[in-house]
Homo-oligomer: A and B are copies of this chain.
Amino acid sequence: VDRSLLSADTQHVFELIGIFAFALSGAMMAIRKRFDVVGIVLLAELTALGGGILRDVVIGDTPPVAFRRLDYLAVPAAAAVVAAIAHPAVNRVLRPLLVFDAAGLALFAVTGTLVALDAGIDPVPAAVLGVMTGVGGGLMRDVVAREIPVVVRPDSELYAIPAAIGALTVAFAADAGASPAAVGAAAAAAVFAVRVAAIQRGWHAPGARSVNEG
Protein backbone atom coordinates (compact mmCIF):
# COMPACT_ATOMS: atom_id res chain seq x y z
CA VAL A 1 0.00 0.00 0.00
CA ASP A 2 1.29 3.41 -0.95
CA ARG A 3 1.61 5.53 2.16
CA SER A 4 1.97 8.81 0.29
CA LEU A 5 -1.08 10.18 2.07
CA LEU A 6 0.91 10.06 5.31
CA SER A 7 4.33 11.05 4.04
CA ALA A 8 3.28 14.23 2.24
CA ASP A 9 4.28 17.37 4.08
CA THR A 10 0.84 18.87 3.52
CA GLN A 11 -0.78 15.91 5.22
CA HIS A 12 1.62 16.20 8.14
CA VAL A 13 0.74 19.85 8.58
CA PHE A 14 -2.98 19.00 8.57
CA GLU A 15 -2.29 16.25 11.08
CA LEU A 16 -0.50 18.67 13.41
CA ILE A 17 -3.44 21.09 13.09
CA GLY A 18 -5.77 18.27 14.11
CA ILE A 19 -3.50 17.39 17.03
CA PHE A 20 -3.49 21.04 18.11
CA ALA A 21 -7.30 21.23 18.00
CA PHE A 22 -7.72 17.94 19.89
CA ALA A 23 -5.18 19.13 22.47
CA LEU A 24 -6.99 22.44 22.97
CA SER A 25 -10.24 20.55 23.63
CA GLY A 26 -8.43 18.51 26.29
CA ALA A 27 -6.79 21.53 27.87
CA MET A 28 -10.06 23.49 27.94
CA MET A 29 -11.80 20.54 29.60
CA ALA A 30 -9.07 20.46 32.26
CA ILE A 31 -9.46 24.19 32.87
CA ARG A 32 -13.24 23.89 33.14
CA LYS A 33 -12.70 21.11 35.71
CA ARG A 34 -10.22 23.34 37.62
CA PHE A 35 -7.36 20.85 37.18
CA ASP A 36 -3.88 22.18 37.88
CA VAL A 37 -1.24 22.76 35.19
CA VAL A 38 -0.27 19.07 35.28
CA GLY A 39 -3.87 18.18 34.48
CA ILE A 40 -3.99 20.71 31.65
CA VAL A 41 -0.88 19.26 29.99
CA LEU A 42 -1.98 15.67 30.70
CA LEU A 43 -5.43 16.09 29.16
CA ALA A 44 -3.99 17.98 26.16
CA GLU A 45 -1.49 15.18 25.42
CA LEU A 46 -3.96 12.37 26.13
CA THR A 47 -6.70 13.83 23.94
CA ALA A 48 -4.36 14.59 21.04
CA LEU A 49 -2.20 11.46 21.09
CA GLY A 50 -4.24 8.81 22.92
CA GLY A 51 -6.02 7.48 19.84
CA GLY A 52 -2.86 7.11 17.78
CA ILE A 53 -0.92 5.52 20.64
CA LEU A 54 -3.73 3.01 21.17
CA ARG A 55 -3.74 2.17 17.42
CA ASP A 56 0.03 1.68 17.29
CA VAL A 57 0.06 -0.51 20.41
CA VAL A 58 -2.77 -2.64 19.03
CA ILE A 59 -1.08 -3.21 15.67
CA GLY A 60 2.25 -3.84 17.40
CA ASP A 61 4.07 -0.85 15.89
CA THR A 62 5.99 0.11 19.02
CA PRO A 63 7.13 2.54 20.22
CA PRO A 64 4.14 4.50 18.87
CA VAL A 65 4.88 7.27 16.40
CA ALA A 66 3.98 9.81 19.11
CA PHE A 67 7.16 8.77 20.95
CA ARG A 68 9.36 8.80 17.84
CA ARG A 69 8.84 12.38 16.60
CA LEU A 70 9.22 15.30 18.96
CA ASP A 71 6.57 17.44 17.25
CA TYR A 72 3.79 15.05 18.27
CA LEU A 73 4.58 15.65 21.95
CA ALA A 74 5.43 19.34 21.52
CA VAL A 75 2.26 20.51 19.77
CA PRO A 76 -0.12 19.43 22.59
CA ALA A 77 2.23 21.03 25.14
CA ALA A 78 2.04 24.27 23.17
CA ALA A 79 -1.76 23.99 23.07
CA ALA A 80 -1.78 23.51 26.85
CA VAL A 81 0.26 26.69 27.34
CA VAL A 82 -2.03 28.65 25.00
CA ALA A 83 -5.11 27.38 26.83
CA ALA A 84 -3.69 28.02 30.31
CA ILE A 85 -2.82 31.62 29.45
CA ALA A 86 -5.55 32.60 27.02
CA HIS A 87 -8.51 30.41 27.95
CA PRO A 88 -11.07 33.24 27.95
CA ALA A 89 -10.09 34.01 24.36
CA VAL A 90 -10.07 30.31 23.47
CA ASN A 91 -13.56 30.00 24.91
CA ARG A 92 -14.76 32.75 22.60
CA VAL A 93 -13.48 30.85 19.52
CA LEU A 94 -14.56 27.41 20.77
CA ARG A 95 -17.23 27.03 18.11
CA PRO A 96 -14.73 27.81 15.30
CA LEU A 97 -12.38 25.36 17.01
CA LEU A 98 -14.83 22.57 16.29
CA VAL A 99 -13.88 23.03 12.65
CA PHE A 100 -10.26 22.15 13.42
CA ASP A 101 -11.43 19.26 15.58
CA ALA A 102 -13.46 18.04 12.60
CA ALA A 103 -10.30 18.22 10.47
CA GLY A 104 -8.41 16.20 13.08
CA LEU A 105 -11.19 13.62 13.29
CA ALA A 106 -11.34 13.25 9.50
CA LEU A 107 -7.58 12.92 9.03
CA PHE A 108 -7.05 10.65 12.04
CA ALA A 109 -9.82 8.28 10.97
CA VAL A 110 -8.46 8.06 7.41
CA THR A 111 -4.76 7.84 8.20
CA GLY A 112 -5.46 5.45 11.09
CA THR A 113 -7.26 3.15 8.67
CA LEU A 114 -4.41 3.30 6.14
CA VAL A 115 -1.78 2.62 8.84
CA ALA A 116 -3.78 -0.43 9.97
CA LEU A 117 -4.14 -1.71 6.38
CA ASP A 118 -0.40 -1.26 5.97
CA ALA A 119 0.12 -3.46 9.02
CA GLY A 120 -1.69 -6.25 7.17
CA ILE A 121 -5.04 -5.89 8.89
CA ASP A 122 -8.24 -6.68 6.95
CA PRO A 123 -10.48 -3.81 5.76
CA VAL A 124 -13.22 -3.96 8.42
CA PRO A 125 -10.94 -4.20 11.48
CA ALA A 126 -8.65 -1.61 9.83
CA ALA A 127 -11.61 0.78 9.65
CA VAL A 128 -12.41 0.02 13.31
CA LEU A 129 -8.83 0.96 14.19
CA GLY A 130 -9.19 4.13 12.11
CA VAL A 131 -12.28 5.16 14.04
CA MET A 132 -10.45 4.31 17.30
CA THR A 133 -7.63 6.60 16.20
CA GLY A 134 -10.12 9.41 15.60
CA VAL A 135 -12.28 9.08 18.71
CA GLY A 136 -9.97 7.31 21.21
CA GLY A 137 -8.24 10.40 22.54
CA GLY A 138 -11.49 12.22 23.20
CA LEU A 139 -12.88 9.16 24.96
CA MET A 140 -9.82 9.04 27.25
CA ARG A 141 -10.17 12.79 27.93
CA ASP A 142 -13.78 12.31 29.03
CA VAL A 143 -13.01 9.26 31.19
CA VAL A 144 -10.21 11.06 33.06
CA ALA A 145 -12.37 14.19 33.43
CA ARG A 146 -15.30 12.05 34.63
CA GLU A 147 -17.66 13.31 31.93
CA ILE A 148 -20.20 11.36 29.86
CA PRO A 149 -18.08 10.67 26.76
CA VAL A 150 -18.98 13.09 23.97
CA VAL A 151 -18.81 10.22 21.48
CA VAL A 152 -21.79 8.43 23.11
CA ARG A 153 -23.97 11.40 24.19
CA PRO A 154 -27.30 11.62 22.36
CA ASP A 155 -26.99 15.44 22.35
CA SER A 156 -23.67 15.36 20.47
CA GLU A 157 -23.77 16.08 16.77
CA LEU A 158 -22.72 13.17 14.51
CA TYR A 159 -19.10 12.33 15.28
CA ALA A 160 -18.15 8.67 15.09
CA ILE A 161 -20.64 7.83 12.34
CA PRO A 162 -19.13 9.96 9.54
CA ALA A 163 -15.70 8.80 10.72
CA ALA A 164 -16.82 5.16 10.46
CA ILE A 165 -18.30 5.59 7.00
CA GLY A 166 -15.19 7.38 5.78
CA ALA A 167 -12.90 4.75 7.32
CA LEU A 168 -14.84 1.87 5.75
CA THR A 169 -14.82 3.58 2.34
CA VAL A 170 -11.06 4.10 2.49
CA ALA A 171 -10.46 0.57 3.74
CA PHE A 172 -12.39 -1.17 0.98
CA ALA A 173 -11.24 1.17 -1.79
CA ALA A 174 -7.57 0.93 -0.86
CA ASP A 175 -7.89 -2.84 -0.39
CA ALA A 176 -9.40 -3.04 -3.89
CA GLY A 177 -6.38 -1.26 -5.34
CA ALA A 178 -7.44 2.39 -5.40
CA SER A 179 -4.77 5.00 -4.69
CA PRO A 180 -4.72 5.53 -0.92
CA ALA A 181 -3.75 9.16 -1.41
CA ALA A 182 -6.69 9.92 -3.69
CA VAL A 183 -9.34 7.93 -1.87
CA GLY A 184 -7.97 9.04 1.50
CA ALA A 185 -8.10 12.71 0.58
CA ALA A 186 -11.64 12.36 -0.78
CA ALA A 187 -12.85 10.42 2.27
CA ALA A 188 -11.24 12.85 4.71
CA ALA A 189 -12.89 15.77 2.92
CA ALA A 190 -16.26 13.98 3.07
CA VAL A 191 -15.93 13.14 6.79
CA PHE A 192 -14.97 16.75 7.49
CA ALA A 193 -17.90 18.11 5.49
CA VAL A 194 -20.46 15.81 7.13
CA ARG A 195 -19.17 16.59 10.62
CA VAL A 196 -19.27 20.34 10.01
CA ALA A 197 -22.75 20.09 8.50
CA ALA A 198 -23.90 18.01 11.48
CA ILE A 199 -22.71 20.74 13.86
CA GLN A 200 -24.39 23.51 11.85
CA ARG A 201 -27.67 21.69 11.31
CA GLY A 202 -27.86 19.74 14.58
CA TRP A 203 -27.78 16.20 13.20
CA HIS A 204 -27.76 13.60 15.96
CA ALA A 205 -27.37 9.83 16.02
CA PRO A 206 -30.48 7.94 17.13
CA GLY A 207 -30.63 6.12 20.44
CA ALA A 208 -32.21 2.77 21.16
CA ARG A 209 -35.77 2.29 19.92
CA SER A 210 -37.96 4.11 22.41
CA VAL A 211 -40.18 1.80 24.44
CA ASN A 212 -43.11 4.17 23.98
CA GLU A 213 -42.75 3.88 20.24
CA GLY A 214 -42.54 0.08 20.45
Q: Interface residues, chain A, CB within 8 Å of chain B?
A: 30-31, 33-40, 42-43, 45, 53, 57-60, 62-64, 66-68, 70, 73, 83-85, 87-88, 119, 121-122, 124-125, 128-129, 139, 143-144, 146, 148-149, 151-154, 156, 159-161, 204-209, 211, 214
Contacts and interface: CB of A to CB of B under 8 A. Distances in A.
Contacts of A85: 208-209
A37 B206 contact: yes
B59 A57 contact: no
Contact of A31 (B59, B125, B208): B208
A125 B73 contact: yes
Contacts of A205: 36-38
A151 B205 CA distance: 31
A73 B156 CA distance: 25
A151 B39 CA distance: 7
A154 B34 contact: yes
Contact of A58 (B62, B149, B151, B204): B62
Contact of A121 (B67, B129, B143): B67
A66 B30 CA distance: 32
Nearest to A53: B58
A94 to B, nearest CB: 15
Among A53, A144, A159, find the residue whose CB has the most chain B CB atoms closer than 10 A: A144
Contacts of A152: 30, 33, 35-36, 38-39, 42-43, 144
A60 B31 CA distance: 33
